[in-house]
Structure 1
Amino acid sequence: MHVHVNAAESVDGKLSTREREQVAISGPEDFDRMDALRAEADGVVVGVGTELADDPSLTVTDAERREQREAEGRPPNPARVVADSRARTPTDAEILGDEAVTYVLVSERAVKGDIEALENAGATVIVAGEDRVDLPGAFEQLEAHGLDSLMVEGGGELVFSLFDAGLVDRLTVYVGSTVIGGREAPTLVDGEGFTDPDSFPELSLTGVERMDDGVVLSYDV
């Protein structure tokens, strides 16, 4: 499976304000780039924090890209995936609409009634891990469902867990010309953090492209 993390951050490395309110960091060119990345992927992944804060649809915006996917024998939109250890995703969330298949990754600590509610709302629930989602195990199950490429759109807790598990293959970051600040504002990689320099993920810069009023940095991991 190929896992591609994509994000937009301020020049000081923040994804949103300390209140976790969405901020327009990039512009139309980057939005179109992100839409193209979604169209290439078999699935689009977010953590439950991002789902609860933003209620994203995670669908492809451009009609021609949806048509091209169908011409290739694929569904018009990639599958939506939420890493949600305790099954907190609301049953009226946008990602549970009928535009695409939705997978919710939960742990064994998720309440059975919440799992059943998500399944009744149309989600396919994958249980992996005791206390938190076991991402390698969950991704193996996603692969068994035919998802060979995933685009991850955040948030920082999920991205850290993916790097920590060695699951990230590619990273692209749009860095916008704005400063947000705030020691508690979310960053690209939050979580517990790496303490040993020998454990830092190794990145190889493969491209720098100016876009809107910022730059896109591309890395192989």
Structure 2
Amino acid sequence: MHVVVNAATSVDGKLASRRRTQLKISGPEDFDRVDRVRAAADGVMVGVGTVLADDPRLALDVEDRRVERLKNGRPGNPARVVADSTARTPPDARILDDAATTYLLVSEAAPEERVEALRERGGVVVVAGDDRVDLPGAFERLESRGLDRLMVEGGGELIFSLFEADLVDELSVYVGSMVVGGRDAPTLADGEGFVEAFPRLTLEAVDRLDDGVVLSYTVE
């Protein structure tokens, strides 16, 4: 599976403020770029923290892109994927509407009643791992279901876990012209952090959009 991480950060690397509510960092030009990246993917992934904070729908914004996907024999919207070790996704979350298939990646530790509630809402539950989601194992199962290209939109805990598991192929970061600050504000890659064997990236392109820049990397 080819994994593309896409995120928008402030100049100081923050995804949101310490309140962890959605923050408008980029503008219309970057929104359109993100929609194009989504349209090229088989699935769009977030962590459960993003679902709880923002209640995203993760569907395409431009109708012509949905139509083009349908013409090519693909679903109108890419599948949605949530990394959710203990099945905390609310059953009424927008990500569980009928716009696309939604995969919930959970661990064996997820309470059965929560898992069943997600299944009743139409979610496809993928169990991988004991106490937390085993991402490599879960990705193998997603790939067997036809997801060959996955776009990851955050948050920081999930992005760090993907780098830690050596699962990231590309990284695109929109850096907006603002400072957020705060030691408790989420960053691009949270988690425990690396102290050695730091992932190395190769800068492939720098593009100015809106009042910021998109940095495009491949992962070595």
Fold conserved (TM > 0.5)? yes
Letter in 2 for 1:57: R
Equivalent residues in 2 for 1:70-85 (5 A)?
A: 70-85=70-85
Query: 2: distance between equivalents of 1:23 and 1:163?
Result: 24
Residue in structure 2 matched with residue 136 of structure 1 by the alignment: 136
What's the offset of the Cα at 1:21?
Answer: 1.4
> What is the SS of the residue equivalent to 1:210?
strand
What's the offset of the Cα at 1:134?
Answer: 0.1
> What is the SS of the residue equivalent to 2:17?
coil
Query: 2: distance between equivalents of 1:23 and 1:150?
Result: 23
Residue in structure 2 matched with residue 215 of structure 1 by the alignment: 213
Residue in structure 2 matched with residue 164 of structure 1 by the alignment: 164
What's the offset of the Cα at 1:116?
Answer: 0.7
Letter in 2 for 1:219: Y
> What is the SS of the residue equivalent to 2:175?
strand
Letter in 1 for 2:198: F
Residue in structure 1 matched with residue 35 of structure 2 by the alignment: 35
Alignment of 1:205 with 2:194, yes or no, is no
Residue in structure 2 matched with residue 150 of structure 1 by the alignment: 150
Letter in 2 for 1:188: L
Query: 2: distance between equivalents of 1:177 and 1:210?
Result: 11
Query: 1: distance between equivalents of 2:132 and 2:160?
Result: 14
Alignment of 1:99 with 2:99, yes or no, is yes
What's the offset of the Cα at 1:193?
Answer: 0.3
What's the offset of the Cα at 1:190?
Answer: 0.2
> What is the SS of the residue equivalent to 2:19?
coil
> What is the SS of the residue equivalent to 1:219?
strand
> What is the SS of the residue equivalent to 1:19?
coil
Residue in structure 2 matched with residue 11 of structure 1 by the alignment: 11
Letter in 1 for 2:9: E
Letter in 1 for 2:24: A
Query: 2: distance between equivalents of 1:111 and 1:145?
Result: 25
Residue in structure 2 matched with residue 188 of structure 1 by the alignment: 188
Structure 1: where are the runs of 5+ without partners? none
> What is the SS of the residue equivalent to 2:38?
helix
Query: 2: distance between equivalents of 1:3 and 1:122?
Result: 25
Letter in 2 for 1:134: D
What are the Cα deviations for residues 5-47 of structure 1, in whole angstroms up to 9, with x where unaligned?
0000000100110010111100000000000000000000000
Root mean square deviation of aligned Cα: 0.4
What's the offset of the Cα at 1:202?
Answer: 1.1
What are the Cα deviations for residues 76-109 of structure 1, in whole angstroms up to 9, with x where unaligned?
0000000000000000000000000000000000
Query: 1: distance between equivalents of 2:24 and 2:98?
Result: 27
